[in-house]
Amino acid sequence: MALALKVDEKDNVATVFENGIVSGMTVTVRDKAGRSEDIKVIGDVPYGHKIAVKDIEAGAPVIKYGESIGAASRDIARGEYVHVHNMVAMRGRGDLAEG
């Protein structure tokens, strides 16, 4: 079974370390404590990319390492591929009015 790793208890994403993961396949998400759960992947996920391990509402923080790595730019379902197409950085944004 393909493996995905969750770094921190609070994380709502996990990183998939397997080549050739396409929509509909199932990966095993493991955390540091050794607990694991199987999640069905939505979207094709390249090696080293992330999937959601929980539903994430648009505007809510995406959490990895137990910290915010940005915000969901639209609703993200559990298992869905998470990357620049559905999340945005919130730092260094000279294009945003409030900085």
For another protein, the binding residues (CB under 8 A) are 3, 5, 7, 15, 17, 19, 46-50, 62, 64-65, 67-70, 82-84, 87-96, 99
Count the Cβ atoms, other than its own, within 10 Å of residue 31: 16
Report in angstroms how near the CB of residue 57 gets to another protein at its nearest: 17
* DSSP E strands, 7-64: 13-16, 26-30, 36-40, 50-52, 61-64
80 bridge partner residues: 42
Report in angstroms how near the CB of residue 40 gets to another protein at its nearest: 20
What amino acid occupies position 44?
D
Report in angstroms how near the CB of residue 69 gets to another protein at its nearest: 4
Report in angstroms how near the CB of residue 98 gets to another protein at its nearest: 11
Instruction: Indicate the residue among 40 and 51 with the shorter CB distance to another protein.
Output: 51
Instruction: Indicate the residue among 24 and 89 with the shorter CB distance to another protein.
Output: 89
